[in-house]
Amino acid sequence: MGIAQENFIREFCDAWGDGSDTSRPQVEKILSMMAEDAVWQLWVPGGPIIKGREALRKEILLQMSYATNNKCVITHIISSDTIVMTERADLAIIHKKPCPHQMVAVYELDENGLIKAWREYLDTADLAKKTGITPDVMTRQN
């Protein structure tokens, strides 16, 4: 149904990196694909909610200080005109430890086709085990 929307989200995911040592998130491209007042919930339930492009920029830059080799690997995708859901098998090195992880991400698109809401559903206990750091601390360390 929403092939253009799916391709948009594929491009968004690709902007986070290709998994190589030299790849880094394309911050400006990522932000340009999000509405000015976009909301990102880092994990559901209970994860921090980041709202607005400037707060999103700050969060992405913070994550870049401890996470490298990012690659979003979409395994399944489904969409409508305004919602895209992905199942992903992402790769990252977090605090210098390999942290492959499974997740579902839901993207809500606005009338201009930009991301207005983004929620990630993942097993934070799994990431905590891999990094040795609790999820609330993991996203707030420099």
CB contact burial 46-64 (16+ within 10 A = b; e otherwise): ebeebeebeebbebbeebe
Structural domains of the chain in order of their starting residue, each with its CATH number = 3-138 (3.10.450.50)
Q: Over its length of 142 residues, how does the chain's per-residue pLDDT go in tens digits?
A: 589 999 999 999 999 999 999 999 999 999 999 999 999 999 888 889 999 999 999 999 999 999 999 999 999 999 999 999 999 999 999 999 999 999 999 999 999 999 999 999 998 888 778 887 766 655 554 3
This model's pTM is above 0.85: yes
The answer to whether 75 touches 93, Cβ cutoff 8 Å, is no
Residue 80 φ/ψ, nearest 5 degrees: -125, -165
- Return the biggest CA–CA distance within the chain: 41
